[in-house]
Amino acid sequence: MTTLTMAAAINAGLRKAMERDPKVVLMGEDIGVLGGVFRVTDGLHKDFGGDRVRDTPLAESGIVGTAIGMAMRGYRPVCEIQFDGFIFPAFSQITTQLAKMHYRAQGNITLPVTIRVPFAGNIGAIEHHSESPEGYFTHTPGLRVAAPATPEDGFTMIQQAIACPDPVIFFEPKARYWDKADVDLDAPFDEAKATTGMSRARIVRQGDDATIVAYGPTVRLALQVAQVSEEEGSSVEVIDLRSLSPLDHQTVVRSVKKTGRCVIVHEAPSAFGVGAEIAARVTEEAFFHLEAPVLRVGGFFMPYPGSKFEHDYLPSVDRLLDAVDRVLAH
């Protein structure tokens, strides 16, 4: 086992994928010699060369459009969108071409494109650098959407995303890039199970009284709240979704049937978000097991504020703990 930050773990996963398949090509702004803004691709240009780690112009629609053409010719492009708020110039390419080509071609064309997106806040950044746009893409049929929460998952899931025959939007929680954990760099990789493995949620803490559903940047927050709840006499289960589309609602529903209570937390606005879909699934499939309404804790329904106010905007221990206390009161 090797102790790595999430950024270094994703870098190691990219390296493994490139060593395994010469058709894997990285593309993005400043990802080459510089190694990316967050240094996630550091050293890969030196080791694999400029043909496989390609600096691109500042043109996200061009990056994704080029990746689509390369995928049609047999490559496995991995695009980096430098910051979450920069993905929107490529929105049409992603949602009208990348997501639909396989269906439109009746299965005769596959587009194994991975789009890496550093997302979410808590880094004190300026406007357009702390967005949580995952809801746009989970609402788009034809895309897989994943979000690791730990260095171990960053290492494994980026390899699974690249091996997957479907296009994957891979959201990396930028505030967690510096979190450290042990990673098994020599773990065997089963390409045949890459798609199913990436799509399964994980129970990261067992509990009996309530379920917190989280993903990406909010998993650590959920664990903090579960610890506080335990000190106050309550047992809270925490689920890391890992995959947002497809959604492993079976794991969530099983947990809620056991605990009878559910709170969902994400940084994106609560309104019309991923949490709303989970709440609907839980209500449909576990209604007679619920002891309290399903609650959501998220960003407020407003543009992401300046860094001075982001801690008032984002879910906090106090806000999430209040929601847990409310469901436990029933």
Exposure on the CB side of residue 67, measured as CA atoms within 13 A:
36
Q: What DSSP string runs through 234-290?
A: --EEEEE--EEETT-HHHHHHHHHHHS-EEEEEEEESTTSHHHHHHHHHHHHHGGG-
Number of Cβ within a 10 Å radius of residue 55: 15
Same fold, 2-198 and 202-328: yes
Helical spans, DSSP H, in the chain:
6-20, 44-48, 60-72, 91-92, 101-104, 134-138, 151-163, 194-198, 219-231, 249-259, 274-286, 310-313, 317-328
Reply yes or no on whether the pLDDT at 191 is more than 90: no
Where in the chain are the domains?
A: 2-198, 202-328
CATH topology of domain 202-328: Rossmann fold (3.40.50)
Q: What share of the chain is helix, strand, coil (3-state, %, to 5)?
A: 45, 20, 35
Q: Assign 77 a pLDDT band (cuts: 50, 70, 90).
A: very high
Phi then psi for residue 179, to 5 deg, are: -65, 140
pLDDT for the residue numbered 96: 96
Q: Judge contact between 163 and 194, C-beta under 8 A.
A: yes
Closest CA to 15 of 50, 42, 54, 55: 42
**Closest to 4 in 3D by CA, of 166, 177, 142, 188:** 177
Q: What is the rounded average pLDDT for all residues in the chain?
A: 97
β 114-119/76-80 pair status: parallel
> CA–CA separation, 177 vs 180, rounded Å?
8
Q: pLDDT of 14-60, one tens digit each?
A: 999 999 999 999 999 999 999 999 999 999 999 999 999 999 999 99
- d(CA 56, CA 60) in angstroms, rounded, equals 9
Q: What is the pLDDT of residue 234?
A: 97
Angle, helix 219-231 to helix 317-328, in steps of 10 degrees:
50
d(C-alpha 218, C-alpha 314), whole Å: 10
As annotated, the active-site residues are 129
φ and ψ at 199, to 5 degrees?
Answer: -90, 0
What angle, 0 to 180 degrees and rounded to 10, lies between the N-to-C axes of helices 151-163 and 6-20? 30
Fold (topology level) of 2-198? Rossmann fold (3.40.50)
pLDDT in tens, 210-260: 999 999 999 999 999 999 999 999 999 999 999 999 999 999 999 999 999
